[in-house]
Amino acid sequence: MTAQGFRVEWRDLDGEDETRSLAAELMRRAGRGAVFALHGDLGAGKTRFAQGVARELGVRDAVASPTFALVLEHATRSGGVFLHMDLYRLGCESEAEDIGMAEMLETAEATVIEWPDVAAGLLPPRTIHVTLAATDPGLPDHRRAEIRFPDNIPAVRPS
């Protein structure tokens, strides 16, 4: 489906490994400078997604949620920087500006942003939005990913 230069696709995910694999696939397709805006409830798999992007970039250190730090930087295999942001504790877009978010997005090899809505106006047009949601309360590892990305990024191939 195409609307305003974006395509929307869905993927059913069975477990954390499939969430990480989807992230790695999207990273390969998006390329250097990728920005992922992750949406979903607590426990939806946003940090697992970040781990998949990190793995694809060759990050060697552990990737955990940066809730209290707001931004964690990780060195990539190519010598670049992978940024993992968690904006949950920010109250408004100006607070994201104050931490230099726009400048960081320009220089990072890739960025994953959890809870991005507070800084929606700072997200570049190339941002890939991923919404993760549980599909069955009885099966907490089963999720559905809605992927909204610019038309100039190749489509995700179902696994």
Contacts of 25 (CB under 8 A, 6+ apart): 156, 157
Spell out the domains of the chain, with CATH numbers in brackets. Answer: 2-150 (3.40.50.300)
**pLDDT per residue over 50-109, tens digit each?**
999 999 999 999 898 877 788 999 999 999 999 999 999 999 999 999 999 999 999 999
Residue 34 scores a pLDDT above 80: yes
Q: 102 phi and psi, to 5 degrees?
A: -60, -40
pTM above 0.85, yes or no: yes
CA dist 22 and 158 (Å) reads 9
In order, the DSSP letters of 69-107 are: TSEEEEE-TTS-EEEEEE-TT--SHHHHHHTTHHHHHHH
